[in-house]
Amino acid sequence: MGCSVRANRHGYLCFRLYFDGLESHEGTALKDTPESRLKVERRAQTISDEIEAGTFEYLRWFPDGNLAVRFRTKAADSGPTPARVITVRGFFDRWGSDPAGSDDQSKAAEKQIRPVSMKWSLNRASYLKTHVVPVFGEKRLDELTLGDLVWLQQRLRRGLAPSTVDRVIHSALRGFLRDAAMIGYAIPDLRTLYDGRMLPRLTRPGEDVEVDPFSETERDRIVEGFRKHRPHYLPFVVFRFWTGTRPSEAVALRHGQLDLAGRRARIRASRVLGQDGQTKTGRSKRVVVLHAPVVRILRDRLPTHPAHDDFVFTTPSGAPIDQANFYAREWVPMLRRLKMRPRPFYNTRHTYISYMLAIGARPLWVARQTGTSLAMIEEHYGDARCSSGELDALISDAKRGRTRNLPGTFDDDPTNDVTDDEESPDESGPSERAGDRGRTGDVQLGKLAFCH
């Protein structure tokens, strides 16, 4: 008995199940690639463990599988199954803890029911292990009350940031309880348990975002520091500073998604904890415009004939860059060498967004270039303003009947090969208005329509 993985004749991976005298083949939507096979084989191992332990539930794993009708009919004939009871610690042991002796972090994430990113799976398991299991471990899930959660919130507020308290109670614990309910354990009514009048969130969504960009001088010093002392990572650092991509998006970039001739990079995935996954949001899948200096550095320092699936940015040994390792071994030492105030590597994204807005780029263009929302841009990076001189120039252009596209807007060229669903921002040309002295046309992207 157990579960194995194979590829069907169409090249897709599928599970092969043997349990309770039954055999079943269950397909997936994943092509047979090394990354996908590794992911599916890990799931197969978890299923095999459950089959061996006698806890495997077919409908939980394959609600629309080949044997689903058979198991639903069996369940209907036997009548409703009473909800099972379990303690907080008991369910956590099967939901969020690492298998005994395992050094693979992904194992804990795969035991969780609802699909979330691996990083968040590990984070919420860590939150519960640290803050919930020690105080409620022996309490049954169905015995948790609103009073328990209010008490826990007050307790956590003494030593944690409000945003962290919200993640523990309103995100991690709530997801934990939902997963328990999905596999038949009794839990309290969540609407009653999370009564917003008694248990409000301590922060609004996005309120804890801290924008702390590097100045232009700091950015240039960091780039020069990598050029002199760690030249292998120069393309990676320049790419981050001048595209505003997230670190997970940059490390996931493949050569097949990089078009240096067209000055485009297609963002299609993110890479966290050594695993490729979906981008943060739907709008994060986008086409990024590459400024000319970025293209020159990439052409000069990247392989001439790379394979389509090779990573663009790697370590000196050719392995994909690990964000945590790069931060600890390269980024922090470089800031120390330059005697610069330490800030996360993620803040290169804040630097790009802040700089583009400061030189006059339209917020909508910046939002599309960086894969975020216009609301996020306006809330965290300030509003776009125009001086009286710039306003006069805009009105003057309108009166002269100029019909050319404003820099930073989409062109009307029907030959543009970027599809509509990619929502690629277009490049912009230099501005002729006042206030642009000392800026190159490529970097500056032009003065755009400043006023909302």
Q: What is the pLDDT of residues 128-144, one digit of tens each?
A: 999 999 999 999 999 99
Shared-domain flag, residues 261 and 310: yes
CA 367 – CA 378 distance, rounded (Å): 10
Does residue 353 share a domain with residue 225? yes
pLDDT digits (tens, 9 = 90+) for 235-288: 999 999 999 999 999 999 999 999 999 999 999 988 887 778 778 777 889 999
On whether residue 16 sits in a domain, the answer given is: yes
Nearest to 89 by CA among 136, 144, 137, 135: 137
Determine, yes or no, domain membership for 450.
Answer: no
**36: containing domain:** 1-80
Domain of 195: which CATH number? 1.10.150
3-state SS, residue 134: helix
Same domain, 76 and 87: no
Q: How many CB atoms lie within 10 A of CB 329?
A: 13
Place of tokens 């308290």: 165
Shared domain check, 121 and 17: no
Overall pTM > 0.75: no
Whether residues 235 and 349 fall in one domain: yes
Residues of the chain with pLDDT under 50: 98-106, 108, 383-386, 403-452
Q: How far apart are CA 138 and CA 87, in angstroms?
A: 6
User: Does residue 277 sit in the same domain as residue 293?
Assistant: yes
Residue 449, in any domain of the structure: no
* Number of domains comprising the chain: 4
Structure tokens at 190: 């969540």
Does residue 185 sit in the same domain as residue 270?
no
Nearest Cα to 55, choosing from 16, 75, 15, 84? 84
Looking at the structure, do residues 239 and 325 belong to the same domain, yes or no?
yes
- Asked if residue 299 belongs to a domain, the reply is yes
The rounded Cα 417 to chain-centroid distance in angstroms is: 27
351 and 390 co-located in one domain: no
Domain boundary among 208, 242, 257: 208
Residues 324, 400 within the same domain: no
C-alpha closest to that of 42 among 125, 94, 109, 114 = 109
CATH of the domain at 308: 1.10.443.10
Residue that is last in its domain, among 358, 388, 412: 358
